[in-house]
Amino acid sequence: MYSGSNSTIRQPNYFDMTKSRILYHQSYKNMRFLDPLSPKQTHALNTLKADGCVILDSYIPEKKLQQMQSELQQALHNMQFNMPCLAQNKIDSIIHKDLINNYMLGTPQQLEECGVTFDQSQAIDYEQVLADFRPSTLTVPMLELSATYRETWTDPFILGIISAYLGMVPKLIEAYVRRNFPAQYRSMNHYWHRDINHDFHLLKMFVFLSDCTIETGPHEFIKGSHTNLDILNGQRYFQDEQVDKIYPLGHENRVLSTVKAGTVIIENTQGLHRATIPKTGYRDLGYGVFMPIPPLYRHKNYHFPKNAYNSLPTFQKAFIPKSFTD
């Protein structure tokens, strides 16, 4: 069920759902921990089903948002972002032509082998990193560092919507915050695409920690494309012209996340979407990836402190892979 190898998104058939019921038995069983949805959750769920995304405007209370912003800033200045990290000023348009033409696609380790990253040994402080390497993205594992972030990523209102949409209690398989800067070269998620993290069962949560404007690089989603799989499907990435031909700029189905800090978006990212590059300043955006995983899933994508895990209510605890707490 979890492949990531086929770029074509399709609706599951009876066999797929039967297999899913067997493979993810525990995720379906954990639905017994879900409380009945409130009217607000039901409204959000219906919007998510119809459009493929739902926007919870200014969802995070101001005091909590300020704390999250402060903690992120401190983590960045403490150099607690992931490295190796892509350095825009190490990219050569001639030497790295193939890499550029392949959407800068690669793991951090593969990009390091291409000579386009910087690592911890080269990073002195935050300001030096920005000046010397011009990173397009700094990624911070905030759930490991902050109780406030763990509380937000395990918010029962949001998790209830996610479970009701998927019909199961999935796992929070990825959780991180990115600070994005202006960049000369686009990479992977800057191109239109459909996510292939999972064949059928997938939702993402976006937590906006800074005001997002046209200038700071909004996220963009094609409303309804999560169920309209007959067009723009089967490629890993799509050029702007391909999407613009069907959904011109200003089209009513193009959802642009020009939103206030504190807004949360839940999205079926098997629909068409992209991140645009900031023109000025930066964008702080948190990510949560929700999908079921097989019993012998071996990856550990983030660390969730064990004492924090043990203190979670049963419903929220069911979202965290226990192996991520070791």
Q: Within a domain: residue 282?
A: yes
What is the domain-level CATH number for residue 155?
Answer: 2.60.120.620
Could you read off the pLDDT of 218-247 as tens digits, one per residue? 999 999 999 999 999 999 999 999 999 999
Q: Within a domain: residue 1?
A: no
Q: Within a domain: residue 56?
A: yes
* pLDDT band at residue 4 using 50, 70 and 90 as cut-offs: very low
Handedness of CA 242, 248, 249, 253 (dihedral sign): negative
Could you read off the pLDDT of 73-132 as tens digits, one per residue? 999 999 999 999 999 999 999 999 999 999 898 888 899 999 999 999 999 999 999 999
The domain total for the chain is: 1
pTM comes to 0.95
Q: Within a domain: residue 22?
A: no
Rounded Cα distance between 213 and 251, Å, is 18
Q: Within a domain: residue 219?
A: yes
Q: Within a domain: residue 60?
A: yes
Rounded Cα distance between 2 and 161, Å, is 22
Could you read off the pLDDT of 110-122 as tens digits, one per residue? 999 999 999 999 9
Q: Within a domain: residue 17?
A: no
Domain boundaries, position 145:
36-81+136-320
Rounded Cα distance between 48 and 174, Å, is 21
Q: Within a domain: residue 23?
A: no
